Amino acid sequence: MPHKDWVKYLAEGFELLVRQDSLFGIWYGFAVVLVFNGECICRYDTAHGAPHKDVLGKRSGLIRKEWCENLPFKEAFAHAIHDLSENYQSYHDFYYAN
């Protein structure tokens, strides 16, 4: 099961840990994880067979799942990278407030 892993470095010490899973050129999964100081702040993945975002809180843990309904993996993957790259500070603030 080939996969590609890489890191996208953002401003202020934030990072996106990215994994893309495929088999014979067909995507079957991904994960895009927003990390700050070694902590997972927010993530998009396909762990339950469909793309979704896990909204997290430092004290509360998993607060909710937001499903990316009707989005193919590639579109959800692009959305995940764009969303977390553009809104990392908002996710950080939410995480530490909860």
Determine the average pLDDT of the residues in 6-12. 97
pLDDT at 98 over 80: yes
pLDDT at 25 over 80: no
| Chain centroid, CA 62 distance in Å | 13
Give, in order, the Cα–Cα distances in Å from 55 to each of 1, 20, 22, 27, 92: 28, 20, 25, 24, 11
At 36-95, the pLDDT tens digits run 999 999 999 998 889 999 999 999 999 999 999 888 888 999 999 999 999 999 999 999
Reported as a pLDDT band with limits 50, 70 and 90, residue 1 is low
Give the pLDDT confidence score for residue 32 in this predicted structure.
98
